Amino acid sequence: MRNNSEVTYLNLKETQMAIKSLKDYFQRDLANTLNLARVSAPIVVRPETGLNDNLGANEKAVNFNITNYGINVEIVQSLAKWKRSALHKYNFRCYEGLYTDMNAIRPNEELDALHSLYVDQWDWEKIIKSGDRNEEFLKTVVRQIYEVFKRSEEYINQVYPFALKKKLVDEIFFIDSQDLLDKYPNLTAKEREREICREKKAVFIMRIGDKLSNGEPHDARSADYDDWKLNGDILFYNEILDCAFELSSMGIRVDKHSLKSQLEAMNQTEKLSMDFHKAIMEDRLPLTIGGGIGQSRLCMFFLEKKHIGEVQASIWDNATLELAKDENIFLL
């Protein structure tokens, strides 16, 4: 344990070095643990392919025309659907997977200590069998990823023993979103997340996207990549900010049955005419599990930063810049 009288904090140069060390260690361990190969990924896609994601249905992708060719493209918002197509295209086999850097611009984001218009994450995807499409398999993969988080924390804390402390508990706690609502019926979804993270420190909230007993989903999810009954979010308790801190959204992906029912629930059945959706309905794409893990979120949490701008270079409004100055927060 560190002695509080000996605590020092990472300066700007040390932070930059620590970011690289932590990212390098984490992605290498993640790849080895889940049997993932690193691949290149696009930053833009054609909207008519259906490969881009509308996330919670309210976000609008940045789009532009390739001037000399009249081709309209969108900057990716995530690679959830592209990865599944890539696994098929590259002839990956069962229990093999891929990971890549995903960089996105989300212009409608509300900027705060946790959110930036620039999103950087590791996107990963792995082929599974039909018999793996169940809650126990999902939990097994979540536990494997949590062990990567724990080993990464141990590594970076050894590199900077007088600046960082242990934050993760031994095991991650699983709870269904309906059970969480039952536990805290008078709180909002975000308030429920905060309370369960305060109590358990590391939590996987399952089944996100489907309506709960209050008539609302725990959080919005697109209808065409995660199976809402077999997905969830990994959250840690952030002691510095006293909040639930999401590190990953992941899940077993839709098969043709869940795709159709979820699109019907969202009144989006017109998407079934898109290439990606046709491929699922015709069983031309593999069954997969996958997710995204925030790179800046990872660094912010384990390097004990107050603001995501301390671990990534982005654009901030004047109020944020003034607040950071007043609190001696050094934004990159």
Catalytically active residues, by annotation: 53, 106, 121, 233, 246, 249
| 3-state SS assignment for residue 65 | strand
| 3-state SS assignment for residue 142 | helix
User: DSSP secondary structure string, 218-245?
Assistant: SS---SSSEEEEEEEEEEEEETTTTEEE
User: DSSP secondary structure string, 231-292?
Assistant: EEEEEEEETTTTEEEEEEEEEEEP-HHHHHHHHHHTT-GGGGGSHHHHHHHTT-S--EEEEE
**Separation CA 332–CA 312 (nearest Å):** 6
Burial 293-304 (b: 16+ CB within 10 A, else e): bbbbbbbbbbbb
Cβ atoms 162, 8 nearer than 8 A: yes
Q: How far is CA 4 from CA 8, 50, 112, 121, in A?
A: 9, 52, 29, 32
Cβ atoms 180, 205 nearer than 8 A: yes
HSE-up (13 A, CA, CB side) for residue 132: 20
Longest dimension (CA), the chain: 63
Packing angle of the helix pair 12-34, 295-302 (nearest 10 deg): 120
